A and B are shown apart, each in its own frame.
Chain A
Amino acid sequence: MKSITAENIKRNYGKVEALIDISFDVNKGEIFGIIGPDGAGKTTLFRILTTLLLPDSGSATVDGFDVIKDYKSIRKNVGYMPGRFSLYQDLTVEENLKIFASVFETTLEENYHIIKDIYQHIEPFNKRRAAALSGGMKQKLALCCALIHKPSVLFLDEPTTGIDPVSRKELWVMLKNLKQLGITILVSTPYMDEASLCDRIALIQKGKFLNIDSPKNIVEQFQKKMWGIKSKNMSKLLNDLRANPEVNTCYAFGETHHVTLLNEKFTIDNVKKYIENKGHNDVSITEIAPTIEDCFIELAKEK
């Protein structure tokens, strides 16, 4: 049985089309990533699947229950962690956990084994109010609260936004462990580098999925050769490369510019000559493996 299915989901906010025809499904025990920039429709999709928002058309099921008809069953069986920290800031860590355990009619002790690994990080701060926790700890607490009732599907809306790199890594380790318990995880993120940590991903832009596949396959589908180009004057280099009609795409990516060419006739040697003619020193050109981000940019361009 699929954990999540969605068929032709549409949702508008007034005239703004937030989701246009979204269809996908998630297997049981899978970590499925929704990857896309801010405003792409990630949160809207999460709110529909967690029964907080009704779709204009289309249908979806979570854990076999329809999001419109059986919303009550869904609320019992899913855990949701909104993008914004939304626990009670004026209650302590322990009190927040107890409140959420009680509204799901369970107790902290009953499902302690599920949250144990995560809870151990914040247990020393049990008596501290949630407002006084650091960003990473708030996120761990929110995750504990979302897991306290042993959900079969976990929805995490941008769990790593605004979190330091160490906490981000820790969080992904935790998600892998939860997967071992058989919990299906739907996670959204604007960070492309996190995509490779998912089993499968959907790239979303402007309310549409660009592609759904495993991160490996998405990268393999990338047709063109990708070049990393460096020189002393990087900003001039970016402008010069973009000015060349033979250059397909050119984006600044940290230390190098990622460049693809329109066709293979205009070889990379021609590019090198072109750059040197423009007066650049210390030019280095290497072939590199495309990243998910490169794929995203390429796919977004095609649409």
Chain B
Amino acid sequence: MLKFLLEKEFKQFFRNRFLPRLVVIFPFVALLIFPLVANFEIKNINLSIIDNDKSSYSQSLIQKIQSSGYFRITDVSETYDGALKNIEINEADIIIEIPNNFEKDLVNEKFARVMISANAVSGVKAGLGGSYLANILNDYSSVVREKWIDQSKNKISIPHLEIVPQFRFNPTLEYKIFMIPALMVMVLSMICGFLPALNIVGEKENGTIEQMNVTPVKKFTLILSKLIPYWIIGFVVLTICFGVARVVYGLIPVGSILTIYLCASVFVLAYSGFGLVISNYAKTVQQAMFMMFFFVMTFVFMSGLYTPVANMPEWAQLLSNYSPLKYIIQVLRLVYLKGSGITDLLIPFLALCGFALFFNSWAIYSYRKNS
């Protein structure tokens, strides 16, 4: 009986003009576009410069800023008010003002001030731009200092600390490498969570489920016939994701791909089960859609996809333990970047198994053939 029901699900799926294409196109688009768009490296910050000093020191500072590659000098103003106007009409993001006696102060007093003001309407741009500028200024000051020490032929060296961070598992701190495994999870959860939920509710709306309910089909069989197809689709989606990551970004998991498949298969089972639970409580496709959105959004923000879980307040950290996404993202990142094996991932793996068991039992329990 299950065989026939599965055959039916697949026939319906492939006869749908839209769904099979979506399943193929969605992972491509997500992995090709999202990593490029959702990028925290900021370039082309529009900079407005007020150089009151016009000395050789101020000139070399401006050159240094220009050559950093992060900034585009869009305006050189005479006054601060003039520069502010540029911010108002959105032609500048950051103002740097070099004061009148910059060179004099620097030489005589060994101390000079520079003002940076940033337009914080776009918080990320202002924050990152400001800190890029601060870094350049720091750099500049140490260059100046070293020059003076050389000039004075004084052999007293000024002690300073040089910090050279080493980023393990992602040496260049490439944002994409970090995001892509997490994006795979996003794609997987969108397809494998939404489709089964909408499938059952769709049958409710069409009345077809009622006809099925008067038959001797067991709840378990019916739920299984809805679960298995999306499980298989999950594998297809994941494989496409692996392919894109490899071909486009040259990203190959350090660890075993089988570990990922194993954990992902449990995750898809858990997530489809969750979708089925929603579908059992929703009466219309609209209701199911909104319920899914609500939970998926919560799961995503609680999962550490964008912000590390450790940054969250304590209550949110506790709550994040109930997001199945958290564990699968952990698995994908660890296997992809660090090469962890299944023994290292026992906790997330067992957590996913727990979710799968919990949601699917709930789905079978809450499915009612009568009311």
A residues near B (Cβ < 8 Å) are: 50-54, 71-72, 75-76, 78, 80, 82, 84-91, 95, 98-100, 102-105, 129, 145
Partner of A52, one of B1, B4, B16, B371: B371
CA distance A145 to B1 in the complex (A): 16
Residue numbers in B under 8 Å from A89 (CB-CB): 206
CB of B216 within 8 A of chain A? yes
The prevalent SS among residues of B at the interface is helix
* In-complex Cβ contact of A75 among B8, B12, B210, B214 (8 A): B214
A243 to chain B, nearest CB (A): 46
Out of A82, A88, A91, name the residue touching B210 (CB < 8 Å): A82
A80: B residues at CB distance < 8 A: 211, 214
A51 touches B214 (CB 8 A): yes
- Structural contact, B11 and A95, CB atoms closer than 8 A: yes
Q: Is the CB of A71 within 8 A of B370?
A: yes
- Set A53, A91, A100: member contacting B215, Cβ < 8 A: A100
Contacts of B216 in A (CB 8 A): 72, 75-76, 103-105
Bound Cα distance from A76 to B5, whole angstroms? 17
Residues of B within 8 A of A84 (CB): 207
B232 at the interface (CB under 8 A from A): no
Out of A71, A82, A95, A98, which one reaches B211, CB within 8 Å? A82
Complex: chain A residue closest to B215, CB-CB: A103
Closest approach, in angstroms, between the C-beta of A133 and any C-beta of chain B?
A: 15
Residues of B within 8 A of A (CB): 1, 4-5, 8, 11-12, 15-16, 206-208, 210-217, 369-371
A52, B211: Cβ atoms under 8 Å? Answer: no
Contact assessment for A102 and B208 in the assembled complex, using a CB-CB cutoff below 8 Å: no
A-B contact pairs, 30 of them (CB 8 A): A51-B370, A52-B210, A52-B213, A52-B214, A52-B370, A53-B370, A53-B371, A71-B370, A75-B214, A75-B216, A76-B216, A80-B211, A80-B214, A84-B207, A86-B206, A86-B207, A88-B12, A89-B206, A90-B11, A91-B12, A95-B8, A100-B211, A100-B215, A102-B4, A102-B5, A103-B4, A103-B215, A104-B215, A104-B216, A145-B211
Which residue of A51, A52, A86, A95 contacts B208 across the interface (Cβ within 8 Å)?
A86
Query: Contact: A88 with B215, CB < 8 Å?
Result: no
Cα distance A88–B1 in the bound complex, in angstroms: 17
Q: How far is it, in angstroms, between the C-alpha of A51 and the C-alpha of B216 when the chains are bound?
A: 11
**Which chain B residues lie closer than 8 Å to A102 at the CB level?**
1, 4-5
Q: Is B214 in contact with A54, judged by CB distance below 8 angstroms?
A: no
A54 to B368, CA, bound (A): 12
State whether A86 touches B215 (Cβ < 8 A): no
CB neighbours (8 Å) of B371 from chain A are 52-54
Q: Please name the residue on chain B nearest to A155 by beta carbon.
A: B214
Cβ of B210 and Cβ of A86 under 8 Å apart? yes
Quick one: closest A residue to B8, CB to CB?
A: A99
Taking a contact as CB atoms under 8 Å apart, the answer to whether B8 and A88 are in contact is yes
Complex Cα distance, B11 from A262, in Å, reads: 65
A145 vs B15: C-alpha distance when bound (angstroms) = 21
Residues on the B chain within 8 Å of A78, using CB: 214
Among B8, B207, B211, B369, contact of A91 (Cβ-Cβ < 8 Å): B8
Q: State the Cβ distance, A223 to closest chain B Cβ, in Å.
A: 42
Say whether A50 contacts B8, CB under 8 Å: no
